[in-house]
Amino acid sequence: MSEFKKSICREYFESIVVAVILALFIRTFVVQAFKIPTGSMERNLLIGDHLLVNKFVFAPTLTGAQRSALPVTSIARGDVIVFKYPEDPERDFIKRVIGLPGEVIELRHKRVYIDGRPIDEPYVHYLRPPSDVRSPYGVADLREQFGPVTVPPDEYFVMGDNRDNSQDSRYWGFLPRALVKGRALVIYWSYENVADVYRAAGDGSVIRRTGSTITRFFTRTRWTRLLHQIR
């Protein structure tokens, strides 16, 4: 009888160990959860959106055969990526890839030019409209005018979709390829926490909670955003 109980306990223990190892492997190499903390990607990604990040899609491979056999791709313009913030690698940022290695990036009245040609950006959101094109280019506002700069090898130029409220490559420079963690995949949950919104806006107002936790879960969950694919 004691041997039977010991066998059952051992099976449970082994199952738990395998589950933990599998979970750590998935989180480290395949998928990671990420929460949007600021409004730098509005209106495409909102404060309180919870994302799944595909960490495997940009994984390096050793040979061309491996690259063709595995679902691995190169970083492309327009990809929404999560990465380690270059000035503080303990923090994760999320931005959109705008400039690729070797390209010349320039902003003129908030419009992005790559190698001298303007690009179409339907995802961009401005808090204020761009300045008049007839105004001088020498404006000392990086939200209006920037560059031209050339993106170095193995680095990228990234920007937030909310161009007037984003700390991105215009301010801290290029993003090394080694700091990229993965591509944002899908919103699995979205919750409007009023306190988070006020903090992100720099407002010191006191937020008074009303209703039970269960009630707030249903009333503040943004149901229409669930399973929304990130583009």
The residues assigned a catalytic role are 40, 95
Task: Tokens 């409209």: give the residue.
Answer: 129
**Measured distance CA(53)–CA(95) in Å, rounded:** 13
Q: Which residues pair with 125 in a beta bridge?
A: 162
Nearest to residue 230, comparing CAs of 190, 184, 188? 184
Nearest to residue 36, comparing CAs of 26, 20, 50, 18? 50
**Measured distance CA(185)–CA(34) in Å, rounded:** 10
Nearest to residue 112, comparing CAs of 140, 153, 148, 165? 148
The number of CA neighbours under 13 Å toward the Cβ of 92 is 17
Nearest to residue 171, comparing CAs of 187, 157, 191, 189? 157
